[in-house]
Chains A and B, each alone.
Chain A
Amino acid sequence: MSVLRDPDAILAAWLDEGPARLPEATRRAIAVTTRTTTQRRHPLWMPRGRPLMNTYARWAVAAIAVVLAIGGAAYFLAPAGGQVGGPPNATPSATSSPTALPSASAAILASEGFVYPGTYVPAFDPGLTFTIDREVQHNCAPGSVCGGTIDANFPGWLDIEFGMPRIEVHVVRVDKVNDPAKPGAVIDPPADLAAWLASRPGVTVNARKAVQVGGLAATQLDIRTGDKDLVFGPIPGVADPTLGLGANRTVRLFVVPVDGRHVLIMLVAEDGSVTELQPLVDSIVWH
Chain B
Amino acid sequence: MRTRLVERARDGDDVAFTELVDLDGDLCYGIAYRILRDAERAQDAVQQAFLLAWRELPRLRDPERFGPWLHRLLVNACYEELRRHRRWSARIRALPVDGPSGPDPMISVDDRDTLDRAFERLSPEHRAVFVLHHHAGHPLAEIADIVGIPVGTVKSRLHYATRTLRTAIVADSQVDSTEARLA
Contact = CB atoms under 8 A, between A and B. Distances in A.
Contact of B29 (A1, A17, A21, A33): A21
Contacts of A40: 55-56, 58-59
Given A7-B169, A30-B50, A40-B58, A22 B25 contact: yes
Contacts of A73: 149-150, 153
A37 B135 contact: no
A146 B108 CA distance: 38
Contact of A31 (B21, B26, B124): B21
A3 to B, nearest CB: 5
B140 interface: no
Given A18-B101, A143-B124, A144-B79, A10 B54 contact: no
A52 interface: yes
Interface of A: 1-5, 7-8, 10-23, 25-27, 29-31, 33-35, 37-42, 52, 70-73, 75, 112-114, 116, 140-148, 151, 164
Interface of B: 12, 14, 17-18, 21-22, 25-26, 28-30, 33-34, 39, 42-43, 46-47, 50-52, 54-59, 61-62, 72-73, 76, 79-80, 82-83, 96-97, 99-108, 111-112, 115, 123-125, 131, 134-135, 145, 147-150, 153, 162, 165-166, 169-170, 173
22 contacts: A1-B106, A4-B111, A11-B169, A15-B135, A18-B97, A19-B97, A19-B99, A19-B101, A20-B99, A20-B101, A21-B29, A22-B29, A33-B51, A34-B17, A34-B51, A37-B55, A39-B54, A41-B58, A114-B148, A141-B79, A141-B82, A143-B124
